[in-house]
Amino acid sequence: MIRIAPKGSPERARMIKEHRACIDSMKGVAGCTILRCKTPGDTTDVSGGIHEDFELNRVLLRMRAQPATNKLVVICTKVEKEWRIGRLSGIRGVPPKFVGRKVYDNEQDPQHDIFLMRLDEFSESDGYPEDFRQGWKRRDDMWAIS
């Protein structure tokens, strides 16, 4: 297995810088894709990001594969005006709770902050057998609550 770049390493700094550049180039585009636009906000010509950065792609895939419990998400609090970061409970029907008080004026900036927060939450050994959890709909994920 390949480790996630440890804190303070040049690889981690490079990956964070690439993620930020992709987020900035996608401002004005609905949703969040980690690619670079040749012209900011214009997705007709994209490059970089997950297409060219293997490590960034691998880390994002690991983040997306995590169970829903405690996952960080972007919540729109005022349609197309305000966004905040929330944390999912992992229990169907239980609403997410806001994380912090920061309010964003676009939907891309909280995506980068979530990336940084989740990167800090990952253990450096993530991906090794000791961090493996088989399946995604298990009883401990609370899908069977009635």
pLDDT for the residue 85: 97
What pLDDT shows up at residue 110? 95
Q: DSSP characters for 79-116?
A: TTTEEEEEE--SSTTPPPEE-SS--BSSSSHHHHHHHH
Write down the pLDDT at residue 111.
Answer: 94
- Predicted local confidence at residue 146, as pLDDT: 46
Domain edges within the chain? 10-125
Q: How confident is the model at residue 43 (pLDDT cuts 50, 70, 90)?
A: confident
